[in-house]
Structure formats: structure tokens, C-alpha cells
Chains A and B, each alone.
Chain A
């Protein structure tokens, strides 16, 4: 049986492998669909909605939807661009994102999406929620002001027995992603660094090193997020 699938993104024919998600197929074909919670090698959960596309006039998350033959996907259309921008804006106003005092600034995916979509000011009022910082681990700080609850840390940072360092706490609008207090005390150095790297924003900060990359040389200073994918 043939293992390839042909479908369209904004009218362009894309050839993909059966079983690939729309995001995987698009990125392999050099078409950027913005993602945030999606992480290579981890089963997609579809929780941030950044990758929303339209299929048969319905909104679908491209990171969770598998490709199928003849599917017509709308991606880079005004409506979706504005919707994605509004999702970015919502993330900014629902946390406390003081980029000038954030160690992740310049390398932050949320901020980079703000740049790519030219968010000059969010259209929503700032909520300035009261959030805390847990600095009890000798290796990392967990800053709730900046967490977008993408679960990337929960899915990728585990000990040798597969036990999670990070987990949800509370429910509803009180929900937080927290570091296990006991495990945090003995967190190995390389895992702490990886946790900071895998977090798309500055919610996990590796201690004692900060602002070590000069402005102008950081990941998203000169090139927009996604330009590494686009052909």
C-alpha cells in the first residue's frame, strides 16, 4: 500500500507520510505553522492552540491532527493570523511578563511569537495576577509569573525511574505547574539545564548564570521564530 499522503496547505500541494501530523508534514515541507506546547519527540497534547488551522471551515490543532489524503488546510490567512496573535496576547496579559527583567528574554518562544506577529500592545487588559516564585531548589527557580502551562517540562524532565520533576498543583484558575520539592533538592545539573532549555518561556531559570548572551546575539534578536523552517 502507498504510504504517502497528498494534501494542501493554503492551496499548495504537500506530500507527507501517513501518520504524520499536519505540523510535522508542514515543517518538513518548509511551511511554518507556529507551535508552542508541541515538542519534538513527545506525544502532542494540543493545549496552547497556537497551531490552530482551518480544515473544512473548522478550527483544528495542527500538532494533533494527522494528515489525510485530499485534506485542505488553511494556515496563513488573515483570520488565523489574528487569532494566533490574540492567543499570544492572552498569554501575555494572563501572566506577568516583564521581559526587560527576564533571563529568557531573546531566547523565549512566547516573546519571539510576539515579535513575529508584531504584537505592539495586547488588545486585552493586563490582569497582573498574584503569582509566586519557588527558589527552593539549589539548581533552578520556578517562576509562576511566566508559566504558560504548556506541560513541556512535565513531559520531558524525569528521573532515571521515569518519575516527573514537574506536576500540576491545584485546579481551575488556581492551577500551577510546580517542581517537586524533594526532587528539586537533588536535581542533577544537566537536568536542570535541560529543564530551562525545554521550557519555551522563562518559567524555569537555571540558577547563578543569567544574561550571559549579549543583546544582538540571542536566538530571536535578528531572525524571527519559524524562519529556520520556512523555505
Chain B
């Protein structure tokens, strides 16, 4: 059997979900028997070099770059998985969704109690910087997503069970203890 190809990315997330992937511990040795990694922070491949079987998305979409990367993943992956609360429902970054972007930037760069070096009162405006979206979007509200693995972070056992099922083509049978929203 040829190895399945996996890609991963972190959008508006904290890399906690990626840490949780590593948390499968020594099973990672079994994993590399089963799969090959393509574009991912794990191997630092920046661009897809071939069509990928499973794309794993951490984090929701909070800026224009997140949207671009997510669409890039959708185009290049047969199956897309939202991994973790931020990808599934925006997560902690989406706590800003009730607050206008202007007010967020104002607080972060001008008025916040720890902002003292920004003497000229500049809001980041370099054209290289991605634009902040009006609110944080769950991934499946931007592109079609095929599977959802909740948790903050998702339990390593959940990731393992789900990955093995996806790679081997078996039904996902997720035990009660591993499907959690926190």
C-alpha cells in the first residue's frame, strides 16, 4: 500500500493542536510508517509539491492570509479536517467577534496598558501585512470541510484514532472520553 500524504497548517491558532499531534508520543513512529508529510510546519515544506490525501487545519480565519492558505489547502487536499476549537468555531480569537476591529486595534496598539513604545501612535499598516477580517470565521464557513475533531487542544488519542481511521479507510469510532470541547 502506498503511503497516504498529509499536510498541516496553523491559521488563527496557537500551535497547541500541532503540539497535541506530537503528543501521540512514540506512536509517531507508527505514523511515519503509514504516512508521508507534505506542506506542513513539521517539515517546513512551504508549497504543495503534489496532491495530498488529508489536510489538517488548525485555527480559524482571522485575516486575509488565513483565507488564502485555507483555500490553497482545499484545492490541494482530497480530505480536509478541522482540528480543534479555533478551526471549528473560531475559538478564543473569535472572542473579538463582538468588538469592532477598530476598537481591537486601538486597544492592542494604542491604548493597552502595556503599549508604551508606540510613541508615534502607529497602527500596523505595512502593505505586506495581511488584512484583519471583520470577524474570525470557522473554517467550514469559508470552504467545505469534511471532518471535525474538537478539543482545545484535541486529545492526542482523538487525533490518533481519527488519523488511523482516515488513513486506513475505516469508520471513525471515537470514544466518549476523547471528544471534548476544552
A residues sitting closer than 8 Å to B (CB atoms) are 92, 96-102, 105-106, 111, 114-115, 118, 120-122, 125-126, 128-131, 215, 221-224
How far apart are A230's CB and chain B's nearest CB, in angstroms? 14
Contact between B177 and A98, CB atoms less than 8 A apart: no
Told that A99-B152, A100-B85 touch, could you supply 8 new A-B pairs with CB distance under 8 A? A99-B85, A100-B92, A100-B152, A120-B149, A121-B148, A128-B94, A221-B180, A224-B176
- Residue interface bits B12-40, CB-to-A below 8 A is 1, else 0: 00000000000000000000000000000
In the complex, the 3 A-B pairs of residues with the closest C-beta atoms, listed nearest first = A100-B152, A99-B181, A128-B97
Contact between A100 and B182, CB atoms less than 8 A apart: yes
Docked Cα-Cα span, A106 to B167, in Å, equals: 31
How far apart are A168's CB and chain B's nearest CB, in angstroms? 22
B residues sitting closer than 8 Å to A (CB atoms) are 82, 85, 88-92, 94-95, 97-98, 135, 138, 140-141, 147-150, 152, 174, 176-177, 179-182
Would you call the interface of chain A mostly helix, strand, loop, or mixed? loop
Return chain A residues, CB-CB under 8 Å to B148: 120-121
Name B89's contact: one of A115, A118, A126, A131 (CB within 8 Å). A126
How far apart are A217's CB and chain B's nearest CB, in angstroms? 12
How far apart are A80's CB and chain B's nearest CB, in angstroms? 20
CB nearest neighbor in B for A224: B176
Return chain A residues, CB-CB under 8 Å to B98: 96, 128-131
Contact between B149 and A215, CB atoms less than 8 A apart: no
How far apart are B106's CB and chain A's nearest CB, in angstroms? 17
Return chain A residues, CB-CB under 8 Å to B82: 121
Return chain A residues, CB-CB under 8 Å to B141: 125-126
Contact between A115 and B95, CB atoms less than 8 A apart: no
Knowing A96-B98, A121-B148 touch, does A221 contact B177 (C-beta < 8 A)?
yes
Return chain B residues, CB-CB under 8 Å to A129: 98
How far apart are B81's CB and chain A's nearest CB, in angstroms? 11
Return chain B residues, CB-CB under 8 Å to A223: 176
Contact between A120 and B150, CB atoms less than 8 A apart: yes
Contact between A115 and B176, CB atoms less than 8 A apart: yes
Contact between B181 and A100, CB atoms less than 8 A apart: yes
Docked Cα-Cα span, A98 to B98, in Å, equals: 13
Contact between B91 and A98, CB atoms less than 8 A apart: yes
User: Which interface residue of A96, A111, A126 has the most chain B CB atoms within 10 A?
Assistant: A126
Docked Cα-Cα span, A99 to B179, in Å, equals: 13
How far apart are B79's CB and chain A's nearest CB, in angstroms? 15
CB nearest neighbor in A for B151: A100
Docked Cα-Cα span, A222 to B155, in Å, equals: 13
Contact between B182 and A215, CB atoms less than 8 A apart: yes
CB nearest neighbor in B for A215: B182
CB nearest neighbor in A for B137: A126
Docked Cα-Cα span, A47 to B150, in Å, equals: 29
Docked Cα-Cα span, A131 to B82, in Å, equals: 27
How far apart are B19's CB and chain A's nearest CB, in angstroms? 14
Return chain A residues, CB-CB under 8 Å to B85: 98-100
CB nearest neighbor in B for A221: B177
Return chain B residues, CB-CB under 8 Å to A126: 89-90, 94, 138, 141
Contact between B97 and A121, CB atoms less than 8 A apart: no
Docked Cα-Cα span, A126 to B152, in Å, equals: 18
Contact between B88 and A98, CB atoms less than 8 A apart: no
User: Which interface residue of A99, A111, A223 has the most chain B CB atoms within 10 A?
Assistant: A99
Knowing A121-B82, A128-B135, A222-B177 touch, does A100 contact B149 (C-beta < 8 A)?
no
CB nearest neighbor in B for A222: B177
CB nearest neighbor in B for A101: B92
Return chain A residues, CB-CB under 8 Å to B182: 99-100, 102, 105-106, 215
User: Which interface residue of B89, B92, B141 has the most chain A CB atoms within 10 A?
Assistant: B89
CB nearest neighbor in B for A227: B176
Contact between B88 and A121, CB atoms less than 8 A apart: yes
